[in-house]
Amino acid sequence: MTDLNQRSASGFGTIGFIGLGAMGSRMIRHLKDASGLLLYDIDGARTRQLAAELSAEGVAARAASGLADFASVDVLILMLPDSAVVDAVFRGAEQSAEPASGGLLACLRPGTLVIDMGSSTPGHTVDNQVAARARGVSFIDAPVSGGVGGAQAASLAIMVGASEAEFERARPLLQCLGSKVIRAGDVGSGHAVKALNNLLGATILAASAEVFAIGEKFGLDPAVMHSIVDASSGGSFMSNRVWPKAILPQSWDFGFALALMNKDVTIAMSLIESTGIQTVLAQANAKIWADAALRAAPGADMSDIARQFRVRAGL
């Protein structure tokens, strides 16, 4: 774990950041001491507002007018929704192994370090690295865990897929954004372990939601049941963090979208399929989350899966 006071982005030149949603808009604020920040989001108004806010604080930040502006950056962080968007932005509409016109890769200078911090499909990540290497650009993956709260507090867990040399190059910058930065292996490994971790977390949340609905239907007080489970063998991150914040008070707002959890479960299932391993629990869990996503309201939090179990139980 790194002392917050020792974190600095000042040695990385101009840093580009694409994707200023709930996570990216918070993460970028921890890079204020960079020599320059170049921001871009599909929402131009959001980009200009964030650049103006940072500039008012004395940060050398500006909004990019298009992807070509990123030819000036030394490091580029991508915080985009999924591999389809990453591929389109990075390699252009053709998404081929060769740089396509209109994509970032056609604009970046050799030696630029690109860090994909979203939740992408590992195979696509490897393809992007191959295309980048042909242009003299470094491409690594560094997905995160910890949600909006972790992004706000710079306490994210960051799992990195990179060579040892590229990991050491990126680590000081990543330590500005997270409290735990771990090299998972070569490129693609970060996205693989992120998907598998969220598959495990999703399975635990779904199982606990089902078990708590059963207990409440029997007549147990959910708060009392929680105090026992959380201190016993059934305890987990979900019981320790998600239940008290979002489920017991029935606010259904932990800060991580159900659609995003379903996306990560889907990525994990594609990874499992590529290994040829036959699963039972993972397949059942994937169906639970896919069905929950269909039932959920737009923008629903992942904790909504517990609400859905309660509804089905007649609670």
What is the set of active-site residues? Answer: 194
DSSP annotation string for the chain: ---GGG---GGG-EEEEE--STTHHHHGGGGTTSSEEEEE-S-HHHHHHHHHHHHHTT--EEE-SSGGGGGG-SEEEE--SSHHHHHHHHH-TT--SSPPTTSGGGTPPTT-EEEE-S---HHHHHHHHHHHHHTT-EEEE--EESHHHHHHHT-EEEEEES-HHHHHHHHHHHTTTEEEEEEEESTTHHHHHHHHHHHHHHHHHHHHHHHHHHHHHHT--HHHHHHHHHTSTT--HIIIIIIIIIITTT----SSBHHHHHHHHHHHHHHHHHHT---SHHHHHHHHHHHHHHHSPTT-BTTHHHHHHHHHTT-
Nearest CA to 246 out of 147, 177, 139 is that of: 147
In total, the chain counts a number of residues equal to 315
